[in-house]
């Protein structure tokens, strides 16, 4: 099962297994990892699952779809080039080892 490492804003690092076809957001919520709120439950309608993807992984991810692009425009924390919505990153074997950082706030 692929692993994802979540780095909280305070530096706390947690690595968990996230099954293929589950989102990075789901991996955080199911493992009780703070820093991802996910108000809309993964429907790409809230932007409270905002993460900063480790730059080393950016090229490996799917391009940002239009609905995600729209929601990235309303994140609570600053949007950066490596900003993504974690509900829109769906795990696959190649994502094993993915690292994401959580912003200082989601709302």
Residue closer to ligand FES by CB (options 87, 91) is: 87
- Which pair of tokens denotes residue 97? 């080892």
Closest C-alpha to 75, from 32, 104, 42: 104
Sole window of 9-17, 33-41, 76-84, 95-103 interacting with ligand FES (rule: CB under 6 A): 33-41
Closest C-alpha to 61, from 43, 29, 101, 88: 88
Residue closer to ligand FES by CB (options 11, 107) is: 107
- Are 40 and 25 a contacting pair, CB within 8 Å? no
28 counts as binding ligand FES under rule CB under 6 A: no
- Which pair of tokens denotes residue 22? 């589950």
Which member of 33, 44, 61, 77 binds ligand FES (CB under 6 A)?
Answer: 44
42 counts as binding ligand FES under rule CB under 6 A: yes
100 counts as binding ligand FES under rule CB under 6 A: no
Q: Within 13 A of 7's CA, how many CA atoms are on the CB side?
A: 9
Please report, as ranges, the residues that interact with ligand FES according to CB under 6 A. Answer: 25, 38-40, 42-49, 71, 85, 87
């Amino acid at each position: 099962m692929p692993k994802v490492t979540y780095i909280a804003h305070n530096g706390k690092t947690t690595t968990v297994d996230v099954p293929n076809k589950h989102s990075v957001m789901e991996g955080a919520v199911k493992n009780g990892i703070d820093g991802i709120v996910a108000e809309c439950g993964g429907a790409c309608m809230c932007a409270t699952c905002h993460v900063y993807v480790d730059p080393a992984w950016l090229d490996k991810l799917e391009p940002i779809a239009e609905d995600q692009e729209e929601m990235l425009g309303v994140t609570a924390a600053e949007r950066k080039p490596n900003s993504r919505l974690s509900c829109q990153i769906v795990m696959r074997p190649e994502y094993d080892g993915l690292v994401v950082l959580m912003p200082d706030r989601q709302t």
